[in-house]
Amino acid sequence: MTATAAPSNSTDTTSPIPFVDLKAQQARLKPELDARMAAVLDHGRYIMGPEVAELEAALAARAEVAHAIGCASGTDALLIALMAAGVGPGDAVFLPSFTFTASAEVVLAARAVPVFVDVDAASFNIDPQDLEKQIDSVAGRFRSRAVIAVDLFGAPADYDAVNAIAAQHDLMVIGDAAQSVGGAMQDKPVGGLASITATSFFPAKPLGCYGDGGALFTDDDGMAEVMRSIRAHGKGGGKYDIVRPGLNSRLDTLQAAVLLAKLTVFDDEIAARQRVAAHCDERLRDLLTVPARRNGVHSAWAQYTIQTERRDQLAAGLKSRGIPTAIYYPLPMHLQPAYAEYGNGAGAHPVSEALCGRVLSLPMHPYLDDATIDRICDAISEILG
């Protein structure tokens, strides 16, 4: 399917704007979705049906890696990666403090120790210099085992720097690409930038299903075999041949069918997200801080996140005009109660703390037309001007 994304709200200046317009996408894809889901209902293989293998092959080809492995959620994908890497008690796992809790909670689920790292103020992603500092800080107390590099808001982290540091310290690099599938760095697609990459198919992601779902990417044949075993209760050659602790984390066949339908327009949607971001940049760069660009980095634009000291005033003004916003994230992980014993308190990661008071995400999806983007930008100009 190559049809151009249909615009939404092209002339209406009063109705609420959807933050993510899944209804417009569904209308565009309805024949393909209906056919794909009907096929699953007809063959009745709801667990590990043929659509799962078809999807995995398509995802691996897109990411230019040997293996893509579907699983039940993005959180499970991260946990499976840690389990496959042998991370456990006494091991330190480094991750950015400015992220969603899933990136941190899986470390505790693996019975390891989360070590929070500050982020770069422009890219929002893990700061390589602070990563080195935090690695040094745990020397002699924990075994440094892995880095979870989060691709926040759709732009890949600085994998060149992270991979180099990891190689010096014998660390596994796990890419958290929950928001970045469809992005790339130096023309290499997300999925092949780290030893293992985990992603989410939560409905609001750039590539999302109609429920929970996730996947793992790797070029390592042995690691792929272990991760496939873990997602299915740790089984070996047979269903009741249990060779390791595992999870019940298979991707539903119906969700694979939905994702296969969405892949038919995914490239077009990523291009549309790029168009939306460029339009917002042009209109907003003189009013506030727009997302930074890095040479060779192509974002999937899961979110369009601006920065302003007048964040709360702007959010309230936009809400009164029917324009939704979201704050990703209002509190960094090192200050969350669940991670207090690992966080070193206020001031430990000043960039993450500052960003939590400044960031605001605007509506971002492929079905925003120019008139709607201008409506959003006109409102911002009016409120801040």
Q: Count helices and strands (H / E) in the chain.
A: 13, 12
Query: 30-263 belongs to which CATH class?
Result: alpha beta
Q: Map residue 20 onto helix, strand or coil.
A: coil
What pLDDT digit, counting tens, does each position of 33-81 carry?
999 999 999 999 999 999 999 999 999 999 999 999 999 999 999 999 9
pLDDT of amino acid 254? 98
Question: What's CA 3's distance to the chain center, in Å?
Answer: 26
| Cα-based angle 285, 291, 295 (whole degrees, multiple of 5) | 110
Flag whether the pTM goes above 0.85. Answer: yes
What pLDDT digit, counting tens, does each position of 336-348 carry?
999 999 999 999 9
CA pair distance 268, 272, nearest whole angstrom: 6
All CATH 3.40.640.10 domain ranges in the chain, comma separated = 30-263
At residue 2, what is the residue type?
Answer: T
Superfamily for domain range 266-384 = Aspartate Aminotransferase, domain 1 (3.90.1150.10)
DSSP assignment string, 111-148: T-EEEEE-B-TTT-SB-HHHHHHHHHHTTTTSEEEEEE
Residue 19's nearest CA partner among 374, 281, 348, 303 is 303
pLDDT of amino acid 285? 97
pLDDT of amino acid 66? 98
Residue 214 phi/psi, 5° resolution? -160, 180
* Residues with pLDDT less than 70, the chain: 1-13
All CATH 3.90.1150.10 domain ranges in the chain, comma separated = 266-384
